[in-house]
Amino acid sequence: MLSIIVPAYNEEENIENTCSVICGIMKENGIDFELIFVDDGSKDRTWELIDRLSRENKSVRGLKFSRNFGKEGAVFAGLKRCLGDCAVVIDCDLQHPPLLMVEMYELWKQGYQVVEAVKASRGKEGFVYKFFAKCFYGLMKSSSDIDMKGASDYKLLDRQVVDALNDLPERITFFRALSSWVGFKTAKVEFNVAPRNAGKSKWSFRKLFRFAMSNLTSFTNVPMQIVTVTGFLFFVAAIVIGIQTLVNFFTGNALEGFSTVILLILLTGSLIMIALGIIGYYISKIYEEIKCRPRYIISYDTVQRRDKEERNTVNDKN
């Protein structure tokens, strides 16, 4: 069975169409499946629609978070609760072409344990977004040896891979990279990012920047290494300026004033503050990890509701 995990946050305009399209594709191709919508604390009618669809179609299942925990939590909640022999994660807005799941499923049957859908193009994105994405993926590759060029959350994972991800103890996760980090036999398929079916993206530039920083620091210590390298360069500069100052002093060419001293104090002070900020950010991530709070809290599961209704029906008959 194929488990299809769909994180959803304020997607009332897309839920019904996404369900119809995916269920239609699976039935046309004779694939046994379960469709799991994970409501990430939506404030619109998203959960109401998911709950109704799960009542009308036994292949549809819904998980509702107690509040907004973020897409990473929604992805891992789906992976934890899915029952399939393999699982695929797909966006609710259908920018990930759902028909590609059939090709990914066929590759899985051929023995591939991870099938990654890679972006051939990023669709309609601004220059700034593309530039920062390129920088981010470049840093990830240079620091962790994980090539994330064109990477997306659209992946199919074998049950063994799903179990390996679920066994990871960390709370701050980056699914897009972790699914590559765990290894296993991997295949890649390309796709072009389609326009959103409806609604607007929930990712603002501020959210994307915070998401990138969190994932970068959880996967690499490059920012701290940058501080070390910069400190070394300042040390070399200090030696050069120190030698120059001593030469000027002993030759009687020392300049009056403290311009150089003031400049050095400003530069070193700025460097120290930046270094403390980066170190503090890493410490805050350590603090979040050692608290061991759950990645998410599920307040409602349609399968539990369905089981309860069936038990009540049996009790009524008895």
Q: What is the pLDDT, as a whole number, of residue 286? A: 74
Q: Given this model, what pLDDT does residue 314 score? A: 46
Q: Measure the CA–CA gap between 253 and 217, rounded to whole angstroms.
A: 48
Tens digits of residue pLDDT in 16-71: 888 999 999 989 888 889 999 999 888 888 888 998 898 888 888 889 988 888 88
Sequence-distant (6+) residues with CB within 8 A of 107 are: 115, 156, 187, 189
**How far apart are alpha carbons 117 and 105 in whole angstroms?**
12
Residue 165, pLDDT score: 86
* pLDDT recorded at residue 174: 74
- 179/274 Cα distance (integer angstroms): 32
Residue written as tokens 């410490």?
A: 283
CB 78 within 8 A of CB 155: no
The edge-to-edge listing of strands for the beta sheet with 186-192 is: 186-192, 114-121, 155-158, 86-89, 2-8, 33-39, 60-65, 298-301
pTM of the model: 0.66
Token reading at 137: 């993926």
Q: pLDDT tens digits for 226-237?
A: 666 776 777 677
| Class of residue 144 by CB neighbours under 10 A (exposed 0-12, middle 13-18, buried 19+) | middle
Q: Which two tokens stand for residue 281?
A: 């950010």
Q: Rounded to whole angstroms, how far apart are CA atoms 256 and 243?
A: 17
In DSSP notation, the chain reads -EEEEEEESS-TTTHHHHHHHHHHHHHHTT--EEEEEEE-S-SSSHHHHHHHHHHH-TTEEEEEESS---HHHHHHHHHHH--SSEEEE--TTS-S-TTHHHHHHHHHHTT-SEEEEEEEE--S--HHHHHHHHHHHHHHHHHH----TT--S-EEEEHHHHHHHHT---SS--HHHHHHHT--SEEEEEEEPPPPSSS--S--HHHHHHHHHHHHHHH--HHHHHHHHHHHHHHHHHHHHHHHHHHHHHTT-PPSSSHHHHHHHHHHHHHHHHHHHHHHHHHHHHHHHHTT--S--EEEEHHHHHHHHHHHHHHHH-
State both tokens at 200.
Answer: 């607007």
Blockwise average pLDDT, block size 10, the chain, 318 residues: 89 87 89 90 88 88 87 86 89 85 90 84 58 60 59 85 84 74 82 65 58 61 65 70 66 59 66 74 72 76 66 52
Q: What is the pLDDT of residue 306?
A: 62
Query: Of 29, 22, 28, 24, which is closest to residue 3 (Cα–Cα)?
Result: 22
Task: Give the pLDDT score at 43.
Answer: 87
The first and second tokens of residue 245, run together, are: 């100052």
CA atoms within 13 A on the CB side of 254: 11
